[in-house]
Structure 1
Amino acid sequence: MLWSRIERWLARNAPDSHSRLNPPADPAALRQAERQTGRPLPEGLAAWWSAVDGITPAQPAGGETPFRLFPYRCDPYPLAEALERRNLYLHSLRDTVPPPLADAMEEWLTRCGRDRAGTYYSRDAAPLWLPQWLPVGGDGMGGGLFVDLRAGDQYGCVVRHGTTSHDPEPSWPSIEALLAQVLHRLEELGGTSD
């Protein structure tokens, strides 16, 4: 798996980052995530969290910018934090909609939830969050990356989001493609993973 090569690279070339890796996620937590989202986790995402349950964020020291493992200056989330953030985004959305519009918003979210993964809504008011989106990494400022768990040929694609919107299309077709880019970027920095 790509993750094991990334982990070896970190152990050899970035021991501080390697020391912040969390142990594997509990299989029961993975099943709980599927129950909460109402969708199966993509195989690659489940395998990745089964290998490492995210990373403990770096604390900036002396004005230094901490190293972030994922693109867009994101750190991988532990599964529990991914679920917490998903719930926070969903609650924030529902808490900010005026009561007269609540039913219309729920209908809209239900309609969007039936769309194929990778479908986004440039002509509609962009949702802050769909129930089928699961965050996988964050930039510490409200933005990050999510996996689209809706059905379709782009099921499991990874999308970048900000504090008020998301990219108009997926950045990677899968978590495996994201990890491949991470490994490529690390190897360009130098050092080895073998």
Structure 2
Amino acid sequence: MRLLTRNAPACHARLNPPADPAALRRAEQETGRPLPEGLAAWWRAADGVSPTRPTVGETPFRLFPYGCDPYPVAEALTRRKQYLRSLRDTVPPPLADALEGWLARCGQDRAGTYYPHDATPLWLPQWLPVAGDGLGGGLFVDLRAGDQYGCVVRHGTMSHGPKPSWPDIETLLAHVADTLEELGGDGDHRR
């Protein structure tokens, strides 16, 4: 947090206070999976950032790569529900059972397994969005079991990355720290 305070004070000012432990328990209950320790530690330090409203022509500094800001726990859960509801709402009723079967099958795959050749779905129940770009895309953590449990994947409005961008939140945060170190004293650089 010191790097953020020193090198990106405007972003540091947007950090929310630590998440309520009850919110972390709710996230585990709703996803049916334990949170990766790095993600839980991040949320215990700061419950995401408050939204920013840039002025015309301004590009706000985003804390995470790909123009993303970390979500508070409640926002992550809300986004997850929206993605799942949108997926289910767009499937024709005769295909609903097939979709549920597909979701169940994919939910049993190992974390880090993606489906670039399948037309659907856009979201699995074991994926938890952790950051957004303000345009419908962002980053999610894969909570399925396996050696890539907790990996961080980029997603857009129509698809997700073919592989994880980072093996875990800790590696993503180390990348952010390196970026902040490179900024030096001017925290208003654009990426």
Q: Give the TM-score range, shorter chain.
A: over 0.9
In 2, Cα distance between equivalents of 1:105 and 1:36: 20
Given the alignment of the two structures, is residue 122 of structure 1 paired with residue 110 of structure 2, yes or no? no
Given the alignment of the two structures, is residue 79 of structure 1 paired with residue 73 of structure 2, yes or no? yes
Cα distance per residue 1:103-137 (max 9 Å; x no partner) = 00000000000000000012222421100000000
> Does structure 1 retain, via aligned residues, the 8 Å contact 2:7–2:180?
no
In 2, Cα distance between equivalents of 1:191 and 1:16: 12
Given the alignment of the two structures, is residue 99 of structure 1 paired with residue 93 of structure 2, yes or no? yes
Q: Which runs of 5+ in 2 are unaligned?
A: 187-191
Given the alignment of the two structures, is residue 157 of structure 1 paired with residue 151 of structure 2, yes or no? yes
Given the alignment of the two structures, is residue 28 of structure 1 paired with residue 8 of structure 2, yes or no? no
Residues 25 and 19 (structure 1 numbering): CA distance in 2 closer, same or farther, change over 3 Å?
same
1:3 maps to which residue? none
In 1, Cα distance between equivalents of 2:52 and 2:169: 22
- The one-letter amino acid of 1:134's match is L
1:140 maps to which residue? 134
Q: How does 1:170-181 map to 2 (within 5 A)?
A: 170-181=164-175
The equivalent position to 2:179 in structure 1, one of 170, 182, 185, is 185
Higher mean C-alpha deviation, range 110-119 or range 58-67: 58-67
Q: Percent identity?
A: 77
Cα RMSD, aligned residues only = 1.1
In 1, Cα distance between equivalents of 2:73 and 2:185: 29
Cα distance per residue 1:72-130 (max 9 Å; x no partner) = 00000000000000000000000000000000000000000000000001222242110
SS of 2:129 mapped into structure 1: strand
- The one-letter amino acid of 1:149's match is L
> Does structure 2 retain, via aligned residues, the 8 Å contact 1:126–1:165?
no
Given the alignment of the two structures, is residue 66 of structure 1 paired with residue 60 of structure 2, yes or no? yes
SS of 1:167 mapped into structure 2: coil
In 1, Cα distance between equivalents of 2:117 and 2:8: 44
Q: Which runs of 5+ in 1 are unaligned?
A: 1-6
State the shift of 1:57 in Å.
Answer: 2.1
> Does structure 2 retain, via aligned residues, the 8 Å contact 1:25–1:79?
yes
> Does structure 2 retain, via aligned residues, the 8 Å contact 1:86–1:133?
yes
The equivalent position to 2:42 in structure 1, one of 45, 48, 72, is 48
Given the alignment of the two structures, is residue 9 of structure 1 paired with residue 9 of structure 2, yes or no? no
1:167 maps to which residue? 161
2:51 maps to which residue? 57
- The one-letter amino acid of 1:183's match is A
> Does structure 2 retain, via aligned residues, the 8 Å contact 1:9–1:191?
no
